């Protein structure tokens, strides 16, 4: 390889590809530089050995401290706290409903979230939340890039946790690499057994907390350890322990690079106005050590090729190759580079959060724009309005929904029934829905059917009347067989069943249905 | 050699990766190597498949597949699940077996279970004649079970008896039976018309007829009652109400006088287990016309066994 110090830096054209080692912005002069995988001074490759499979290089990332690392700690603590504490929050709903604040009660098909209770037929609220989550990710991506990947994604949080375990048991990057390559001594066996036991415990606690969302947490925890919980609880914990240890303990960045669809989607959503973690190559290139730079002033960029940014990266990439699918924008490389720049007395931000447009301006020597200009752009605002609109609509629907509902299914076989005194009876299956967590008395009344009387399977024909009062148990649907009779000579006609709750809410629901009668009468 | 097969194959300079050599409208595909663990995952699926073939029925042979070490079959699983469902019902069935039918109405929870079970049994055993809505058929003379008109009684015990022993079931001494004599040749045309008029007048469908009234009193009132109210002991239909088993037209009534058709229902004792028959009685009773049982046995252990 030619000595970079004696090389001619002017542009060359090889195989139709323009190559240059001039320090230029990746955004302006040479867009390909942003994704170039070979070093600028290497000649373009003519031939590659054909490889069918790629050996995995295990990532041992180095410890780093800095503002972004501290932010990552903060997000990790907050997200894990939410995950572990939520099932233990109590919420008083009276004697007829569970007192767990967040509970997915699959057995009874109810979803409780603080003051909100969702029934299966209201699943559109959950669908709405999922749509909000989707558009929320669009919003976050268009505003701050892949922030979800870098800080909040469970895969990121748990990978981070497992990497801290590695560091705690085996030491920092170099010690771990040494141990990986060391022969299997008893010491190594012991260390690995110790580490994998911690992995297993983390997995167990992860899976164990998951099931607490699906049943009363204190009861389930007691049953779980006394061996009385349902088999599905143990199976779920076993599966989640396995997936946590596999995905967080061993697969790690491979999940992000090969398995997860989200990086692909986000890659398509990023544009030159999106915030990304990027290496300012016009400032860094060509790379050279502090010593070389001192000997040849003006010849070298700010990057001293110390590879700290590569060593701290949890996915093991080189950010200097440009934006890439393996970059989860956790910004640890910014912390590492800023620290080095401070040590050698150069300005921070050689690797920094920036948009490609800002890079262009900065490379051209313009003043940087305020972060608000980056956030408040039409696309971000549009996403926010859509996201907020859906949220507002959901809240509105939640506020105005009725807790009393009626459905009516008239018998079709037979449609009407002639009784021995010549009167005509129709039968209906009514479903009275009481969505309050207390038993309620409700009145079923007939409207628009003069002379009609009604009785039910529980209220005998002797008590037949134009309206009946029944008690609907707390938080349940009560099915009632209603018989409606008209005296002899009845005609087929439409009428209304009205259900009214006999309490201060006075909620009401009505259903128009049909009374059938023989034609020839 | 490979390069000759795919002349378009080249190194993509920005990524430093070779392309696979295909090109569609200028779009090329990079030949990115697969991660090796992916290969191991593939080997794992092969190991799993081998294990599956050994453990489960998998390999097609001439008349059936290999059995598999675990002996699993879909029929066996169905049988197991059906058994589980039956065991789940065992408590209810035992309660139903113990309770006398006339006391079933007092236990509304058990009654509800019985009605649900009866509905299922009805769909299998009864709909062939009585119809899926239990509305029967006037043309064929199958009674409607939804109304409040009963030939042989409409309380739980009477329905249960009818189900157990059937109606006009040959070979069962306890079956409900009666015969309406055929009056073919007994009346001349005018007498017959008068009788039909009288029968229709009982329910207000025609003006009275003195000849008919006399004939009715002489020939019919013994079973159908002086006012045509019927007799449940004999299964004689009430003639004074709005419900006509075989139609209320003059022709239908004449046909029934001259050449009466009498319904037959098989007995279900021996074909269905006692609990299912109880559930069927509960279901029929629940259809809307069920009557209350008047005399309840003092001691539930004592069987009240005379024909109700």
Q: What does the block give as tokens for B78?
A: 């169905």
Domain with CATH 1.10.760.10 in chain B: 85-177+264-286, 189-258
Q: Do B13 and A32 touch (CB under 8 A)?
A: yes
What DSSP string describes B32-59? PPEEHHHHHHHHHHHHHHHHHHHHSS-S
CA angle at B297 for the pair B291 and B298, rounded to the nearest 5° = 135
Q: Please provide the average confidence, as pLDDT, over all residues in chain A.
A: 87
What does pTM read for this prediction? 0.77
Judged against a pLDDT cut of 60, whether residue A53 lies above it is answered with yes
CA angle at A281 for the pair A278 and A285, rounded to the nearest 5° = 150
CA-based end-to-end distance of chain B: 99
Q: Which pLDDT tens digit goes with each residue over A324-343?
A: 888 999 999 999 999 999 99
**C-alpha dihedral over A196, A199, A200, A202, to 10 degrees?**
160
* Contact in structure between B248 and B84 (CB atoms under 8 Å): no
Q: How far is CA A271 from CA A24, A142, B154, in A?
A: 20, 8, 79
Residue A298: per-residue pLDDT? 81
Residue A41: per-residue pLDDT? 60
What is the rounded CA–CA span in Å between residue B146 and residue A432? 24
Q: Which pLDDT tens digit goes with each residue over B178-227?
A: 999 999 988 999 999 999 999 999 988 888 889 999 999 999 999 999 99
* Contact in structure between B177 and B168 (CB atoms under 8 Å): yes
Q: Which pLDDT tens digit goes with each residue over A279-316?
A: 998 888 888 888 888 888 888 889 998 999 999 999 99
> Measured between beta carbons, which residues in chain A are less than 8 angstroms from residue B15?
35, 37
List the one residue out of A247, A231, A236 whose CA is nearest residue A211: A236
Locate the chain B residue with the closest alpha carbon to A251. B37
What is the rounded CA–CA span in Å between residue A303 and residue A301? 6
Per-residue pLDDT of chain B (308 residues; tens, 9 = 90+): 444 455 667 887 777 778 888 888 888 888 888 889 999 999 999 999 999 999 999 888 888 888 889 989 999 999 999 999 999 999 999 999 999 998 888 888 899 999 999 999 999 999 999 999 999 998 888 999 999 899 999 999 999 999 999 999 999 999 999 999 999 988 999 999 999 999 999 988 888 889 999 999 999 999 999 999 999 989 999 999 989 999 889 999 999 999 999 999 999 999 999 999 999 999 999 888 888 876 544 444 444 444 55
Locate the chain A residue with the closest alpha carbon to B147. A419
Among the partner residues B17, B37, B146, nearest to A414 by beta-carbon distance: B146
Say which CATH topology domain B85-177+264-286 has: Cytochrome Bc1 Complex; Chain D, domain 2 (1.10.760)
Q: Please provide the average confidence, as pLDDT, over all residues in chain B.
A: 88
List the one residue out of A136, A98, A139 whose CA is nearest residue A117: A98
What is the rounded CA–CA span in Å between residue B213 and residue B261? 23
Q: CA of A392 to nearest chain B CA: how many angstroms apart?
A: 43
Q: Which of A375-389, A505-519, B18-32 has the lowest mean pLDDT?
A: B18-32
List the one residue out of A271, A286, A283, A304 whose CA is nearest residue A364: A283
Residue B5: per-residue pLDDT? 54
Judged by DSSP in three states, A479 sits in: strand
Q: CA of B170 to nearest chain A CA: how many angstroms apart?
A: 31
List the one residue out of A284, A329, A290, A332 whose CA is nearest residue A311: A332
* Mean pLDDT value across residues A420-445: 93
State the architecture of B189-258 in CATH terms.
Orthogonal Bundle (1.10)
Residue A388: per-residue pLDDT? 96
Residue A373: per-residue pLDDT? 75
> Measured between beta carbons, which residues in chain A are less than 8 angstroms from residue B148?
419-420
Q: What does the block give as tokens for A145?
A: 């890039």
Among the partner residues A15, A35, A417, nearest to B288 by beta-carbon distance: A417
List the one residue out of A254, A154, A58, A314 whose CA is nearest residue B41: A254
Judged against a pLDDT cut of 90, whether residue A83 lies above it is answered with yes
Locate the chain B residue with the closest alpha carbon to A14. B13
What is the rounded CA–CA span in Å between residue B32 and residue B268? 74
List all residues 6 or more positions away from B211 whose beta carbon is below 8 Å from its beta carbon: B190, B191, B194, B195
Residues in A lying within 8 Å of B, measured between beta carbons = 15, 17, 32, 35-38, 44-48, 50-56, 251, 254, 258, 411-414, 417-422, 425, 427, 457-458, 481, 483, 488
Q: Do A36 and B149 touch (CB under 8 A)?
A: no
* Contact in structure between A34 and A26 (CB atoms under 8 Å): yes
CA angle at A213 for the pair A211 and A219, rounded to the nearest 5° = 75
Residue B212, phi then psi, degrees to nearest 5:
-60, -45
Place of tokens 């415990």: A201
Q: CA of B214 to nearest chain A CA: how many angstroms apart?
A: 25
Q: Do A413 and B131 touch (CB under 8 A)?
A: yes
ipTM comes to 0.77
Spans of all domains in chain A: 67-89+153-251, 404-515
* Contact in structure between A139 and A387 (CB atoms under 8 Å): yes
* Mean pLDDT value across residues A65-87: 95
What is the rounded CA–CA span in Å between residue B253 and residue B261? 11
State the architecture of A404-515 in CATH terms.
Sandwich (2.60)
Residue A367: per-residue pLDDT? 78
Judged against a pLDDT cut of 60, whether residue A440 lies above it is answered with yes
Q: Do B16 and A37 touch (CB under 8 A)?
A: yes
- A460 pLDDT band, cuts 50/70/90, is confident
Q: Do B14 and A422 touch (CB under 8 A)?
A: no
Q: CA of A295 to nearest chain B CA: how many angstroms apart?
A: 32
Locate the chain B residue with the closest alpha carbon to A54. B35
What is the rounded CA–CA span in Å between residue B215 and residue A360? 116
Q: Do A420 and B286 touch (CB under 8 A)?
A: no
């Amino acid at each position: 390889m030619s000595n970079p110090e004696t090389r001619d830096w002017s542009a060359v054209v090889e195989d139709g590809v323009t190559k240059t080692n001039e320090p230029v912005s990746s955004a302006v002069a040479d867009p390909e530089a942003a994704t170039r995988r070979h070093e600028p001074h290497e000649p373009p490759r003519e031939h590659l050995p054909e490889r069918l499979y790629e050996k995995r290089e295990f990532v041992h990332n180095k410890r780093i401290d800095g503002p972004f690392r501290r932010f990552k700690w903060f997000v990790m603590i907050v997200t894990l706290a939410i995950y572990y504490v939520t099932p233990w929050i109590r919420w008083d709903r009276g004697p007829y409903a569970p007192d767990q604040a967040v509970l997915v009660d699959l057995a009874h098909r109810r979803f409780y979230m603080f003051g909100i209770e969702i029934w299966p037929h209201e699943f559109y609220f959950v669908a709405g939340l999922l749509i909000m989550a989707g558009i929320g990710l669009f919003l976050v991506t268009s505003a701050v890039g892949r922030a979800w990947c870098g800080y909040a994604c469970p895969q990121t949080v748990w990978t981070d946790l497992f990497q801290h375990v590695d560091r705690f048991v085996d030491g920092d990057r170099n010690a771990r690499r040494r141990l990986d390559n060391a022969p299997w001594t008893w010491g190594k066996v012991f260390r690995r057994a110790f580490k994998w036991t911690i992995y297993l415990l983390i997995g167990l606690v992860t899976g164990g907390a998951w099931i607490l969302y699906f049943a009363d947490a204190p009861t389930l925890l007691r049953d779980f350890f006394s061996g009385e919980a349902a088999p599905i609880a143990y199976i779920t914990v076993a599966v989640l322990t396995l997936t946590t240890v596999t995905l967080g303990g061993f697969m790690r960045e491979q999940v992000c690079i090969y398995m997860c669809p989200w990086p692909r989607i986000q890659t398509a959503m990023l544009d030159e106005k999106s915030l990304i973690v990027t290496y300012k190559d016009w400032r860094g290139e060509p790379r050279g050590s502090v010593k070389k730079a001192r000997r040849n002033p003006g010849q070298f960029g700010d990057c001293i090729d110390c590879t700290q940014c590569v060593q701290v990266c949890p996915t093991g990439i080189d950010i200097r190759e440009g934006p890439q699918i393996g970059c989860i924008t956790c910004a640890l490389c910014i912390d590492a580079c800023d620290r080095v720049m401070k040590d050698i007395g150069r300005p921070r931000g050689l690797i920094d959060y920036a948009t490609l447009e800002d890079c262009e301006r900065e490379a051209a020597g313009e003043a940087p724009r305020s972060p608000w200009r980056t956030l408040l752009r039409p696309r971000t605002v549009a996403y926010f309005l859509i996201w907020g609109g859906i949220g507002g609509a959901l809240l509105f629907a939640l506020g105005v929904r009725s807790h009393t509902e009626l459905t009516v299914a008239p018998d079709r076989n037979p449609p009407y029934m002639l009784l021995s005194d010549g009167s005509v009876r129709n039968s209906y299956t009514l479903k009275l829905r009481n969505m309050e967590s207390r038993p309620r008395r409700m009145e079923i009344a007939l409207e628009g059917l003069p002379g009609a009387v009604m009785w039910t399977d529980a209220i005998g024909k002797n008590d037949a009347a134009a309206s009946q009062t029944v008690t609907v148990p707390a938080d349940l649907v009560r099915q009632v067989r209603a018989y409606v009779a008209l005296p002899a000579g009845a005609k087929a006609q439409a009428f209304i069943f009205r259900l009214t709750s006999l309490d201060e809410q006075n909620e009401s629901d009505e259903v128009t249905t049909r009374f059938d009668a023989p034609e020839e009468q | 050699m490979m390069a000759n097969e795919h002349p378009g194959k080249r190194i993509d300079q920005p990524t430093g990766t070779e392309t696979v050599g295909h090109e569609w409208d200028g779009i090329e595909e990079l030949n990115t190597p697969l991660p090796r663990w992916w290969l191991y995952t593939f080997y794992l699926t092969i190991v799993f498949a081998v294990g599956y073939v050994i453990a489960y029925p998998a390999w097609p042979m001439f008349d059936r597949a290999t059995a598999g070490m675990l002996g699993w079959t879909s029929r066996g699983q169905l049988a197991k699940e059906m058994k589980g469902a039956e065991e789940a019902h065992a408590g209810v069935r035992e309660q139903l077996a113990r309770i006398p039918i006339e006391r079933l109405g007092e236990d509304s929870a058990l009654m509800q279970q019985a009605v649900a079970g009866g509905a299922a049994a009805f769909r299998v055993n009864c709909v062939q004649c009585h119809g899926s809505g239990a509305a029967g058929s006037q043309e064929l003379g199958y009674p409607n079970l939804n109304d409040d008109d009963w030939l042989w009684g409409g309380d739980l015990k009477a329905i249960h008896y009818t189900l157990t022993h059937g109606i006009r079931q040959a070979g069962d001494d306890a079956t409900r039976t009666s015969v309406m004599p055929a009056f073919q040749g007994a009346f001349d045309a005018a007498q017959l018309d008068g009788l039909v008029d009288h029968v229709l007048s009982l329910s207000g469908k025609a003006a009275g007829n003195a000849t008919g009234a006399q004939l009715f009193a002489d020939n019919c009132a013994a079973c159908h009652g002086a006012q045509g109210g019927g007799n449940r002991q004999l299964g004689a239909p009430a003639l004074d109400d709005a419900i006509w088993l075989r139609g209320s037209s003059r022709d239908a009534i004449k046909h029934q006088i001259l050449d009466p058709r009498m319904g037959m229902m098989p007995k279900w004792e021996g074909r269905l287990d006692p609990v299912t028959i109880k559930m069927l009685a509960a279901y029929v009773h629940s259809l809307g016309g069920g009557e209350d049982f008047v005399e309840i046995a003092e001691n539930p252990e004592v069987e009240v066994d005379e024909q109700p």
